[in-house]
Amino acid sequence: MDPSASARLAVQLKALAHPARLKVLAHLARSRTCQCGAIVAGLPLAQSTVSQHIRILCDAGLVRGSESPRACYCIDRDALAALRRDLDALFEAFAQECSAGPEI
């Protein structure tokens, strides 16, 4: 995996490494698109906290959004599919390395 792909994958995995962000993604997956208020209503968090989590998911490229006239977000399905392919390739490479190397 090239360095830029590794860096992108690390950012995406870091974005996924929080339970609230996983809940936001699950909510968006169920609803396809959603206004921020509906996401907030589904979580026991303040609106500002949810907005911060959404921003991190957007920065990681996993969620797309628009701010006008009302905030509306959706999962970037292409980015999610690419993440899945990257993880599959990464774990396949790990498995090949493990099977070729000595057992501990």
pLDDT attached to residue 101: 62
pLDDT attached to residue 104: 61
Q: How far apart are CA 40 and CA 61, in angstroms?
A: 20
Which class for 23: exposed (0-12), middle (13-18), buried (19 or more C-beta within 10 A)? middle
pLDDT attached to residue 84: 95
State mean pLDDT over 51-63.
95
Q: Can you give the pTM of this predicted structure?
A: 0.85
Split at pLDDT 50, 70, 90, the class of 63 is very high
pLDDT attached to residue 3: 85
Percent of the chain with pLDDT over 90: 57
